[in-house]
Chains A and B, each alone.
Chain A
Amino acid sequence: MPKVNFLHDDGTSTTVDGDVGDSVMYIATSRDVKGIEAECGGFCNCATCHVYVDEAWFDRLVPMAEHENELLDGTVAERRPTSRLSCQITLTSELDGITMTTPDRQT
């Protein structure tokens, strides 16, 4: 199973195994990874599963759709060039080891 690494703003980190085909948001919330809230349940509607993807991994992701881009303009924590909504990142075997940082706040 591919691994996903979450770095948190308090300096701690969490590594979890995820199933190929699941969204990173689902993997995080189903394993109680802190820092991901996902109030809307993965429908790209709330921008509370915001993450900063490690630069080395960012370009390997499927580019974001326009509505994700619109939502990222409304995140509570600052938007950065590597910001994504984790509900829109689908885990593949090529993403084994992907690293991302959770922002200091989602709401």
Chain B
Amino acid sequence: MREDDRKLTDPTFFATGDPHAIFARMRRDDPIHWTEGALSRGFWSVTKLADVRTVMMNDTRVFSSGRFGAALPANADLEDPQTSYFLHLARSGAQLSMMDGEPHKHLRKVFADRFSVGGIGSLEALVRRCTQSIFETVLDRGECDFTVHMAGRLPLVVIGEMMNLPVADAEQLYRFNNMMAAPEDPEWSLGNAVTTSTAGTRGLMEYLTTLARERRGNPGDDLISQLSLAEIDGVRLDDEKLGFNGLMFFAAGHETTRAALSAGVLELLRAPGQIAALREQRFNAKVLATAGEEMVRWASPLTHTLRTATEDFDLGGTAIKEGDWVVPWFASANRDETGFVDAGAFNAARAPNNHIGFAAGKHFCLGAHLARLEMRVMLEYVLEYMDDIELAGPVEMAASNLFWGIKHLPIRFRRRVGTGDTGSRIAA
């Protein structure tokens, strides 16, 4: 077990190793497992669906997101708020995902309408327009990196539109974000994890704080303007809160959807029967939405979250003590054999599918409906315009034990002549 513990706290293991084999052992042998890995302190790994749900449904009451943040530090060097700028921000409660109780509730309410089913529904035309433009760029090439050019591109462009970010700045922000999210990844690293994480975080923070302060004086209807005018207890957000929440929207707006879509398409191109069945139903929103849910279950783009117990708590017979770190592993819970029929198989038609890939309870993913819309539309276009999709090179995973997902998915495909039912036909 000690070797497994170390691996789970080693982001580089996630780039090449098989965390699911570790989770399967834990679910079988020690489902709430005291984990002593490479960090300076141990934590409870919660690996079964029912227990993960129990933790999430006891947020605020028993578990705090604010006390130590909502994710394991990427490595021991990033455990000290004095040296890790990200951790300093996380522990100062400057972001929605790392807040508890009433302040969390009030700030979430500010954005609730925009991210509700109806609010996101009004963005369908925008999402279709962005998808169309991506396909116009890629289709004639016959090959692409699906993750970078398509699955990652769509949510990035859409969140950019929602935040009204200048298009010219998008690439730099994308780079900052990768440095922050996967500082151990050689593709983004500046040499060491702390330097990389801090440079990425500061880059994003400074950019977004400046933008929010500018818009406060002349607000539009974009997300940054809305953030700039938000108040908690009658007080507007300070610079750290402006920047860190802006950063959350930017990061959450694309990393996770990119991972779910990439993992899903990879499984589909390995399962000709499933992709054929979906293609028959490509304009059936419900069928595509069902497939999208399975992509989220399968990928679990956010592998885990972190909570700190604020009181002693009996979790499924395990005594959690006040102050303990508790880590619900969504990636494990979503493969729990007791929660899903044939849990280890990707099934685009899976129903019911009570996965926990968007978390649950008070911190249920604010952007879930946006992700669902983006996945559905992207999938519709893939099925309509791409045929004979096959791998054109090695699949690469990100070196992160938090945002663990495909970062490169090279594919080849044959262009299909669309029927035009996606909205407007893409000219051949």
Contact among A40, A70, A73, A107 for B368, CB-based, below 8 A: A40
Question: A53 at interface (Cβ–Cβ under 8 A)?
Answer: no
Tell yes or no: A45 within 8 A of B by CB. Answer: yes
Q: Is the CB of A41 within 8 A of B117?
A: yes
Shortest beta-carbon distance from B47 to chain A in Å: 16
Segment at the interface with A among B6-14, B49-57, B272-280, B341-349: B49-57
CB within 8 A of A74: which of B58, B112, B359, B372? B58
Residue in contact with A67 in the complex, picked from B117, B354, B372, CB distance below 8 Å = B354
A46 interface contact, C-beta 8 A: yes
Please pick, from A29, A37, A47, A67, the residue contacting B361 in the complex, using a CB distance under 8 A.
Answer: A47
Chain B 350-385 interface mask (CB, 8 Å, partner A; 1/0): 000010101111101000110010000000000000
Interface status of B425 (Cβ within 8 A of chain A): no
With contact pairs A39-B112, A45-B360, A74-B58 given, residues A29 and B117 touching in the complex (Cβ less than 8 Å): yes
Q: How many residues of chain B are within 8 Å of chain A by beta carbon? A: 27
Closest to A48 in B: B364
Residue B105 lies at the interface, judged by CB distance under 8 Å to chain A: yes
Q: Which of B266-319 contact A (CB under 8 A)?
A: 293
Within 8 A of A (CB), among B106-149: 108-109, 112, 116-117
Interface residues of B in 48-104 (CB under 8 A from A): 49-50, 53-54, 56-59, 61
List 24 A-B pairs, Cβ < 8 Å: A39-B364, A40-B358, A40-B360, A40-B364, A41-B369, A43-B293, A44-B354, A45-B358, A45-B359, A45-B360, A45-B361, A45-B364, A46-B361, A47-B360, A47-B361, A67-B50, A67-B354, A71-B361, A73-B54, A73-B58, A74-B56, A74-B58, A107-B105, A107-B108
Tell me the nearest residue of chain B to A105, going by C-beta: B105
Indicate if A10 sits at the interface (CB-CB under 8 A): no
- Nearest-Cβ distance from residue A97 to partner chain B, whole angstroms: 27
Report yes or no: A70 in contact with B362, Cβ–Cβ below 8 A.
Answer: no
Distance in angstroms between the alpha carbons of A59 and B187 in the assembled complex:
59
Q: Is the interface of B mostly helix, strand, loop or mixed?
A: helix
* CB–CB A43/B112 < 8 A: no
Known: A40-B364, A47-B361. 15 other contacts (CB 8 A): A37-B112, A39-B116, A45-B354, A45-B356, A45-B358, A46-B364, A47-B57, A67-B49, A67-B50, A70-B54, A74-B59, A74-B61, A74-B361, A107-B109, A107-B362
Chain A residues packing against B (C-beta within 8 Å): 29, 37-41, 43-47, 66-67, 70-71, 73-74, 107
With A40-B358, A41-B117, A44-B354 known as contacts, the answer to whether A71 contacts B364 (CB < 8 A) is no
- Given A29-B117, A39-B112, A45-B356, the answer on whether A70 and B361 have CB atoms closer than 8 Å is no
The list of the 9 closest CB pairs from A to B, nearest first, reads A74-B57, A46-B364, A45-B360, A70-B53, A41-B117, A40-B364, A67-B354, A45-B364, A107-B105
* Closest B residue, CB atoms, query A32: B118
- List of B residues within 8 angstroms of A44 by Cβ: 354
Q: In the complex the two chains form, is A46's CB within 8 Å of B369's CB?
A: no
Q: CA A32 – CA B72 in complex, angstroms?
A: 40
Give CA–CA (A39, B54) in the complex, Å. Answer: 18
How long is the Cα–Cα vector from A66 to B364 in the complex, in angstroms? 19
| CB of A63, distance to nearest CB on chain B (Å) | 15
Determine if A71 and B360 form an interchain contact, defined as CB atoms under 8 angstroms apart.
Answer: yes
**Residue on A nearest B51 in the bound complex, by CB:** A70
